[in-house]
């Protein structure tokens, strides 16, 4: 029987593309969707492949349990898990509400942790097996305006690094994929901004300017997310994958800033970015009636 992988967050972006790439590579793929009616794009992209849509909201304990139970009932095995489901949240941290911060951690950290725990007995039964955590370049370096998202990914990185050592005892490989900017719905349909961001206040010039600077950066450097999907599928079959695989635009720069450049230099670079954003924002606000 072919190897079996569960991939979360398959409505679009990395999840959908990874499901298709894994199916083409011969995997039996269970593709998690919050609702099956959201799976039209997935079904079109995976026609003729052994890709099976499955209802899975990673924040729901009941759906996590039912998904794992269905996979084992139908195939008798689980060889890999890709924790891709995630959400971003834009907004300066003082403007982020507590329920918004908790929600992003529920998806990006607790959902991945809980689903992995459920999967581990089955992954240990078919070693070597692999768990992939889709993190972010923001999991290694935080930038202003994305602090809540970065905090959740920093936490995921720490969780995964500890699990890497613990699961190696049983032949289960834990891997972090750290994408930079890619053209996915996280910047479009799924883009989320804190409720307090657009309220008048002391951050208003930076909010207006950062949005423009960020959009310009994404338009200029964001790449095809299919390359991330191909990397994930290669990692699933790699007998000795590294703990971290950074990929895509800005990841090399961020790694260099973190590893080679003194913190004060990094702060100076970010400070210049913020000054530029404020200037942009003040001009935009002055143009409003």
The CA distance from 32 to 11, in Å, is 8
Alpha-carbon distance of 261 to 58, in angstroms, equals 38
Beta carbons within 10 angstroms of residue 195's beta carbon: 13
Residue of 169, 82, 65 whose CA lies nearest to 127: 169
To which residue do tokens 């794009």 refer?
Answer: 41
What is the C-alpha separation between 247 and 250, in angstroms, rounded? 9
- Cα 244 to Cα 65, 128, 190, 223: the distances in Å are 28, 18, 26, 20
149 given a catalytic annotation: yes
Cα-trace Rg, the chain: 20
CA 122 – CA 7 distance, rounded (Å): 15
**Alpha-carbon torsion 37, 38, 40, 43, what sign?**
negative
**Closest listed residue to residue 90, CA positions, set 220, 18, 198, 170:** 198
Counting Cα atoms < 13 Å in the Cβ hemisphere of 254 gives: 18
Alpha-carbon gap, residue 94 to 203, rounded angstroms = 9
Q: Which of 30, 149, 182, 203 is catalytic?
A: 149
Which residues are part of the catalytic machinery? 149
């Amino acid at each position: 029987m072919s190897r079996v992988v569960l991939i979360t967050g398959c409505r679009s972006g990395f999840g959908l593309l990874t499901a298709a790439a894994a199916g083409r590579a011969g995997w039996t793929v269970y593709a998690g969707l919050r609702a099956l009616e959201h799976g039209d794009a997935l079904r079109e992209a995976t026609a003729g492949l052994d890709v099976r849509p499955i209802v899975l909201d990673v924040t729901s304990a009941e759906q996590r349990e039912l998904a794992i139970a269905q996979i084992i009932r139908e195939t008798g095995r689980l060889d890999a898990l890709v924790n891709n489901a995630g959400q971003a949240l834009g907004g300066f941290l003082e403007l982020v509400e507590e329920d918004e911060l908790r929600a992003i951690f529920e998806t990006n950290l607790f959902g991945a942790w809980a689903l992995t725990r459920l999967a581990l007995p089955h992954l240990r039964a078919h070693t070597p097996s692999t768990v992939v955590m889709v993190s972010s370049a923001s999991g290694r370096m935080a930038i202003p305006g994305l602090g809540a998202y970065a905090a959740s990914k920093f936490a995921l990185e720490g969780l995964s690094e500890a699990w890497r050592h613990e699961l190696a005892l049983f032949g289960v490989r834990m891997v972090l994929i750290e994408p930079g900017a890619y053209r996915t719905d996280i910047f479009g349909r799924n883009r989320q901004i804190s409720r307090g961001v657009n309220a008048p206040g002391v951050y208003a010039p930076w909010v207006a300017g950062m949005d423009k600077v960020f959009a310009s950066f994404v338009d200029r450097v964001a790449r095809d997310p299919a390359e991330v999907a191909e990397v994930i599928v290669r990692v699933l079959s790699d007998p000795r994958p590294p703990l971290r695989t950074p990929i895509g635009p800005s990841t090399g720069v961020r790694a260099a800033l973190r590893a080679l450049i003194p913190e004060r230099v990094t702060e100076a670079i970010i400070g210049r970015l913020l000054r530029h954003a404020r200037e942009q924002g003040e001009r935009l606000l002055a143009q409003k009636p």
